[in-house]
Amino acid sequence: MKISWSTTNRQTTLAAPVSLDGLGVHSGKAARIVVNPAEANHGIQFLRTGLPGGRERLISARHIAVSATELCTVVGEQTSGSVATIEHLMSALAGLGVDNALVEIDGPEVPIGDGSAAAFVEAIGQVGLKAQTAPRRYIKVLKPVRAEHGRAFSELKPFERGFRLDVEIDFASALVGRQRKSFDLTPAAYAREIARARTFGFMRDVERLWKAGFALGASLDNTVALGEDRIVNPEGIRYPDEFVRHKILDAIGDLALAGAPLLGEYRSYCGGHKLNYMVLEALFADRANYAVVETTPRREFGHAEVALGIAAPAFAPNTR
């Protein structure tokens, strides 16, 4: 990788475009994505191409654009153009501190790769990032908010030292069981501890998912498959707690749909895409729950490529 890990308080974008292609894990359809640099304050946007009649559609990667959360996160509308399974790419962009990018995609679903965010991290690492003149904006959580669904919940609370995730899962299967992990998001820690954690599923659910139109592209190359009493993949798992690490990966990607990095603490129990979306809705339901803050740049960058970290920010006055 061309990047060393340090910090910047300025917005960043890619130093050059990167492209990846492959199959969607649910649709089974091929797609190619090109992640392009974008100007400051652009945010992350998807340009969906290849639509009937040669149409294209621009879709902002924001929670207000979410149209489905069953087994994956979908933005846009199926009738006019949508992009599914955006969470792993969004996780990589947020995890590495990418503020601005235009993602061109010619199919309905982001390629799954090996089921983790590793391919996106590697591709971005090959070209590096560059600093932009604009200061980075953050969404600072001011009041606790919570979403519940049955026994499961997710919540966001104030936290003064960056973005912390505390995620717990609890499965009846002994292969997964109860796992909990707390993680402070920095680019180096993300690349080291989270990016390689893969999606997982139970073999007993496969036929039901196929009938519902899901998992049509799933295989042992992109999913950790759980049998009744063993992990089916010959290579086994990458971490003893790979399952909860992947839930953290997903949460980082889903919560990136806030539109700017969060400053706060996220806690979930048996959460998923739906609850991640619901807690963002709860956050933005009341303007008193959050503030938009900017960093005060600490130094000028004299080179085009900078590292991927998020420094402890110095806050400018709140902007409304």
pLDDT single digits (tens) 46-100 = 999 989 998 999 999 999 999 999 999 999 998 899 999 999 999 999 999 999 9
- The CB density around residue 133, as the number of other CB atoms within 10 Å, is 10
SS3 (DSSP) at 278: helix
Residues 211, 220: Cα–Cα separation, whole Å? 19
Burial class (CB in 10 A: 0-12, 13-18, 19+), 154: buried
Residues 254, 68: Cα–Cα separation, whole Å? 12
**What pTM, to 2 d.p., does this model score?**
0.90
Q: The dihedral of CA 141, 144, 150, 152: what is its sign?
A: positive
The distance of Cα 221 from the centroid of its chain, to the nearest Å, equals 21
| Residues taking part in catalysis | 273
Provide the percentage of residues in the chain whose pLDDT is more than 90: 83
In which band, very low, low, confident or very high, does the pLDDT at 215 lie, cut at 50, 70 and 90? confident
Q: Torsion angle, CA of 249/191/12/1, rounded to 10 degrees? A: -140
Residues 113, 196: Cα–Cα separation, whole Å? 11
Q: Which residues pair with 14 in a beta bridge?
A: 129
Residues 58, 60: Cα–Cα separation, whole Å? 7
Provide the percentage of residues in the chain whose pLDDT is more than 70: 90
First-residue to last-residue Cα distance in the chain: 39
Of 37 and 52, the structure prediction assigns the larger pLDDT to 37
Query: What confidence tens digit (pLDDT) does each residue in 123-164 have?
Result: 999 999 999 999 999 999 999 999 999 999 999 999 989 999
Q: From start to end of 92-177, where are the E strands? A: 101-105, 129-135, 137-141, 145-149, 152-157, 163-170
Residue from 234, 228, 229, 207 nearest 218 by CA: 207
**What value does the mean pLDDT of the chain take?**
90
Query: What confidence tens digit (pLDDT) does each residue in 233-281 have?
Result: 999 999 999 999 999 999 999 999 999 999 999 999 999 999 999 999 9
Helices and strands in the chain: count of H runs, count of E runs: 6, 22
Residues 226, 233: Cα–Cα separation, whole Å? 8
Residues 32, 114: Cα–Cα separation, whole Å? 15
Residue from 112, 108, 120 nearest 48 by CA: 108
Residue from 292, 303, 301 nearest 136 by CA: 292
Q: Go through the domains of the chain in sequence order and give each one's CATH number.
A: 7-310 (3.30.1700.10)
Q: Which helix (H) or strand (E) holds 290?
A: strand 290-294
